[in-house]
C-alpha cells in the first residue's frame, strides 16, 4: 500500500481537475435564485456551508454573499427554541461558525454560541447522552413517546460544543461532548465496527434499552450513512480533544466501511441489505471519505495510506458514476438516498432513493479541498 504522500502525488491531476470542475459549476449555480427552504430542517445550512468552503478557497464574493443570505434566513429557526433539536451543529456550526472564523462577524459568532448552548441543554445528567429529538414518536418509528433517544448522527454535531469551549475558555461544553462520545462508543459501536443508528437509553445509567433500525433496512442492520457519521464524527472528536479512544473508534468503523464497499467503492444504503436490488447512497461515501482523510492525517504516513487510498477510491468512483459538473444544472453529486425502502413500511417512492442530496455536494467539496491540502476545517 502506498503512503499518503505517494497517493496524493499520484492523484494530483485528478484532484486539481475535479476542484476546477466544482468551482466552474458552483460559481454559476450560486448566482441563481434559490428555491424557498424550511429553516428548521437539519439540512438548511448545507447550501450556505458549501459556499463558505468555496469562498475560503477562491475568495469569490458571490460565494460569500450566498452563504450570508442562507445564514440570515435561518434566524427564524434559531430563535424558535422549541423547534430546535440535536442537529444544530449541522445547521449552524459549518455555516455560522465557519463564517465567523473567516470573516470575524460577531453576529455569526453569536449565532453559533446560541446553537451550542441549545445543544448543551439537551444533555441528560446521569445518562451522559444528548437527547436527539423533542419527541421521537413523531418520527413514526416506535408506537409510543420516546424521549431518551440518541442517534449516531449526533457525533457530527459535537464539534460545535468543542468549538464553544475553545472560544470562551470554559470546558463545560467540551465535557458534555466527550461524555456523549464516550456513551456512543459504549452503546452505538458494535464489536465488528458497525454502529446502531438509533438507541433508546436508560435515563439514569445511559445503558442501551433498545435499538432501532432507523433509516436502515431493519433492526440490527448497517445503514451506511450512519457508519459515515461515526467515522467522521469520532475522527472530529479526536481532532478536537486528541483523545486516542476516539481515533481508535473512527478507525474501527472505517475498517468496517472499507471492507463493505471495496468491490466497486460505491456504498450501498445498507451494508446488510440483500444483494439485489442495489441501492446506493453517495452521501455516505462523501462523508466517510472526509473522515478517512482526517484519520489518515492523524496517523503515520504508511498506516494512513490505507485510509487515504480508500477515500480517494470512493471519491473517484462517485465522481465517475454520479458526478454532474455541468454549470447548467444545479445538482452536482447524484445517487444520494435518504433511507432504505422497506416494502409495506417505507415504499420506494417515499424513501428518497437515488436523488440529489445537498450534503453530498457539501462533503464531496470538503473532501476534495482536504486532498488539495486545505487546512480549513468547517467542523
249 to 60, 190, 291, 293: CA distances (angstroms): 38, 10, 12, 15
What the block records as the C-alpha cell of 359 is 450534503
- What is the spatial distance between Cα 268 and Cα 282, in angstroms, rounded to a whole number? 8
Catalytic annotation, pick one of 13, 23, 75, 87:
87
Concatenating the DSSP letter of every residue in 25-54 gives HHHHHTTSPPPP--TTSTTTTHHHHHHHHH
Among 104, 241, 94, smallest CA distance to 181 is for 241
d(CA 220, CA 208): 14
Judge residue 205's burial from the number of C-beta atoms within 10 Å of its C-beta, 0-12 exposed, 13-18 middle, 19 or more buried. Answer: exposed
Q: DSSP 3-state helix, strand, coil percentages of the chain (rounded to 5)?
A: 55, 5, 35
How far is it, in rounded angstroms, from Cα 366 to Cα 377? 8
13, 153, 281, 326: the catalytic one is 153
Does 153 qualify as catalytic in the annotation?
Answer: yes
Q: Which three cell numbers stand for residue 95?
A: 455555516
Residue 191, judged by CB atoms within 10 A of its CB (0-12, 13-18, 19+), counts as exposed
Q: Where do we find the cell 478536537? A: 240
Rounded distance between C-alpha atoms, residue 286 and residue 337, angstroms: 12
Active site residues: 87, 153
Amino acid at each position: 500500500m502506498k503512503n499518503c504522500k505517494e497517493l496524493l502525488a499520484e492523484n494530483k491531476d485528478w484532484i486539481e481537475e475535479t476542484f476546477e470542475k466544482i468551482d466552474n459549476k458552483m460559481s454559476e449555480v450560486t448566482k441563481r435564485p434559490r428555491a424557498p427552504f424550511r429553516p428548521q430542517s437539519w439540512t438548511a445550512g448545507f447550501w450556505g456551508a458549501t459556499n463558505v468552503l468555496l469562498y475560503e478557497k477562491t475568495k469569490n464574493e458571490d460565494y460569500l454573499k450566498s452563504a450570508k443570505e442562507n445564514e440570515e434566513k435561518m434566524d427564524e429557526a434559531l430563535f424558535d427554541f422549541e423547534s430546535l433539536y440535536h442537529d444544530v451543529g449541522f445547521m449552524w456550526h459549518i455555516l455560522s461558525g465557519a463564517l465567523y472564523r473567516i470573516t470575524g462577524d460577531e453576529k455569526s459568532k453569536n449565532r453559533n454560541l446560541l446553537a451550542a448552548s441549545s445543544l448543551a441543554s439537551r444533555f441528560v445528567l446521569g445518562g451522559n447522552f444528548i437527547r436527539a429529538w423533542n419527541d421521537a414518536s413523531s418520527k413514526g418509528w416506535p408506537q409510543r413517546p420516546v424521549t431518551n433517544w440518541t442517534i449516531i448522527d449526533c457525533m457530527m454535531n459535537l464539534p460545535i460544543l468543542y468549538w464553544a469551549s475553545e472560544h470562551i475558555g470554559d470546558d463545560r461544553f467540551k465535557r458534555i461532548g466527550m461524555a456523549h462520545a464516550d456513551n456512543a462508543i459504549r452503546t452505538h459501536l458494535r464489536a465488528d465496527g458497525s454502529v446502531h443508528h438509533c438507541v433508546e437509553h436508560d435515563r439514569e445509567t445511559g445503558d442501551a434499552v433498545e435499538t432501532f433500525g432507523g433509516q436502515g433496512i431493519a433492526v440490527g442492520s448497517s445503514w451506511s450513512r450512519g457508519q459515515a457519521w461515526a467515522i467522521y464524527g469520532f475522527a472530529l472528536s479526536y481532532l478536537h480533544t486528541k483523545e486516542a479512544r476516539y481515533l481508535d473508534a473512527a478507525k474501527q468503523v472505517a475498517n468496517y466501511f472499507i471492507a463493505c464497499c471495496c468491490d466497486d467503492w460505491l456504498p450501498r444504503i445498507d451494508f446488510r441489505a440483500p444483494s439485489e436490488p442495489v441501492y446506493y447512497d453517495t452521501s455516505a461515501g462523501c462523508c466517510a471519505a472526509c473522515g478517512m482523510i482526517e484519520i489518515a492525517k492523524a496517523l503515520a504516513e504508511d498506516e494512513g495510506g490505507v485510509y487515504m487510498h480508500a477515500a480517494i477510491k470512493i471519491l473517484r468512483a462517485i465522481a465517475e458514476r454520479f458526478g454532474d459538473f455541468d454549470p447548467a444544472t444545479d445538482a452536482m453529486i447524484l445517487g444520494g438516498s435518504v433511507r432504505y425502502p422497506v416494502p409495506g413500511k417505507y415504499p420506494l417512492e417515499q424513501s428518497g432513493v437515488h436523488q440529489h442530496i445537498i450534503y453530498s455536494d457539501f462533503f464531496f467539496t470538503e473532501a476534495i479541498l482536504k486532498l488539495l491540502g486545505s487546512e480549513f476545517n468547517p467542523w
